[in-house]
């Protein structure tokens, strides 16, 4: 009986918005790769989406409290997998981020760790809240360590973009977990002081990271080098005008000027082909998805359910803001994918797995 009641309570509206955005993604990947060696990637994206949908329905049938129970074990496995990447991971362009599974398949543990961190943080803060007190400095320190350890391992790969996506888990968790305003102010001040000391003592960013910052501040300093990606992205976005140039008609995209238009800069490619109106449509879809996530968090049956859904929403909002900000020149280039739009199996399956947990929590919102 619970199964039928559960799927009746499935958030079909949220799924509809997600599938519409996924369809836009497939069409844009097809258009962006039509004249390149990556032609056919849209078909792989469709396979990733099908796998993601199956995973979403499968995880929605489990009680999310079981995930909370195994969170310590999952966290331990995540740490081991990140260590394995550093030892046996496949090295591409100077970074080790994937484990080769054979047959052309690769596994990126850092994507899945985001979900494990959300659940582990929810379990930890639920235990603190159950004691009926505000977070102590010891609690705050343990929360920082919980997120900081995997973040440090991802930075070693190096993968600054993915590491930064772990921060919303910490921020949302501490905010909803009862961190006092005074504590937040002291922590923020401490981080600013540490950053200033690091710069003053010569502990600066790596050369390629510093070049990205310099290119963000002034792309014209190296238009054919570090500033190339931002310049081409801005040209693509601007040339789309109000209505866009149409599918398969983007000169920057089809002319192979816009770098990797099917992943990091897919929003810029979409803007060139569909213009300001199309861009606003995509942003509105993201807004509707985020609103549905917040609504599901508000109706969760217990605090850990709320923490999990808000953690998922926080990461999604962070990725959207950083990726789109990067495409329009408001953020440095980081390599953070655009959820439900960028090509990539690990990113797509993680997103649907996270949505499956959201559905799981929604379907149990009236269960005592």
186-201 pLDDT, tens digit per residue, is 888 887 787 676 656 6
Residue 3 has pLDDT above 50, yes or no: no
Average of pLDDT values for 319-334? Answer: 90
Domain extent at residue 344: 2-363
345-363 and 41-60 are packed helices; what angle lies between their axes, rounded to 10 degrees? Answer: 30
Q: Which region among 124-133, 230-239, 322-331, 352-361 has the lowest average model confidence (pLDDT)? A: 124-133
213-230 pLDDT, tens digit per residue, is 666 666 666 666 667 888
Query: How many independent structural domains does the chain possess?
Result: 1
Contact between 232 and 258 under an 8 Å Cβ cutoff? The reply is yes
The better pLDDT of the pair 316, 84 is held by 316
Residue 202 has pLDDT above 70, yes or no: no
Has residue 283 been placed in a domain?
yes
Residue with tokens 């097809």, as numbered in its chain: 30
Contact between 150 and 189 under an 8 Å Cβ cutoff? The reply is no
Residue 5 has pLDDT above 70, yes or no: no
19-43 pLDDT, tens digit per residue, is 999 999 999 999 988 877 778 889 9
pLDDT of residue 221: 67
pLDDT of residue 33: 86
Beta bridge partners of 91: 96
DSSP state of 104: T
Has residue 292 been placed in a domain?
yes
Has residue 46 been placed in a domain?
yes
Q: Note the helical H segments in 90-180.
A: 109-130, 137-155, 160-164, 167-177
146-183 pLDDT, tens digit per residue, is 999 999 999 888 788 888 899 999 999 888 887 888 88
Has residue 171 been placed in a domain?
yes
Residue 1 has pLDDT above 50, yes or no: no
Has residue 368 been placed in a domain?
no
Has residue 42 been placed in a domain?
yes
Centroid of chain to Cα 158: 17
pLDDT of residue 20: 96
């Amino acid at each position: 009986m619970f199964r039928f009641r559960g799927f009746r309570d499935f958030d079909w509206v949220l799924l509809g918005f997600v599938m519409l955005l996924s369809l836009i993604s497939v069409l844009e990947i097809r258009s962006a790769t039509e004249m390149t060696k990556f032609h056919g990637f849209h078909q792989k994206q469709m396979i990733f989406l099908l796998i993601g949908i199956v995973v979403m329905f499968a995880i929605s049938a489990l009680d999310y409290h079981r995930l909370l129970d195994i969170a310590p074990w999952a966290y331990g496995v995540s740490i081991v997998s990140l260590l394995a990447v550093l030892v046996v991971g496949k090295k591409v362009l100077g970074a080790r981020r994937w484990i080769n599974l054979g047959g052309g398949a690769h596994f990126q543990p850092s994507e899945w760790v985001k979900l494990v961190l959300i659940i582990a943080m929810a379990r930890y803060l639920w235990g603190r809240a159950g004691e009926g007190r505000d977070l102590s400095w010891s609690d705050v320190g343990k929360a920082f360590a919980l997120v900081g350890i995997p973040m440090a391992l991802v930075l070693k790969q190096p993968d600054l973009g993915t590491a930064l996506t772990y921060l919303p888990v910490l921020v949302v968790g501490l905010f909803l977990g009862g961190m006092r305003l005074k504590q937040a102010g002291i922590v923020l001040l401490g981080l600013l002081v540490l950053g200033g000391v690091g710069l003053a003592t010569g502990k600066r960013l790596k050369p390629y990271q510093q070049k990205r910052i310099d290119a963000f501040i002034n792309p014209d300093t190296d238009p054919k080098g570090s500033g190339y990606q931002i310049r081409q992205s801005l040209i693509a976005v601007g040339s789309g005008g109000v209505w866009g140039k149409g599918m398969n008609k983007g000169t920057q995209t089809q002319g192979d000027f816009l770098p990797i238009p099917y992943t990091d800069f897919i929003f810029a490619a979409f803007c060139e082909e569909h213009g300001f109106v199309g861009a606003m449509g995509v942003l509105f879809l993201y807004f509707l998805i985020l609103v549905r996530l917040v609504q599901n968090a508000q109706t969760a049956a217990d605090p850990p359910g709320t923490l999990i859904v808000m953690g998922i929403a926080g990461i999604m909002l962070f990725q959207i803001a950083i990726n789109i900000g990067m495409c329009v020149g408001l953020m440095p280039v980081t390599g953070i994918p655009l959820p439900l739009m960028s090509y990539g199996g690990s990113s797509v399956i993680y997103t649907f797995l996270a949505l499956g947990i959201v559905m799981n929590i929604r379907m149990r919102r009236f269960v005592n």
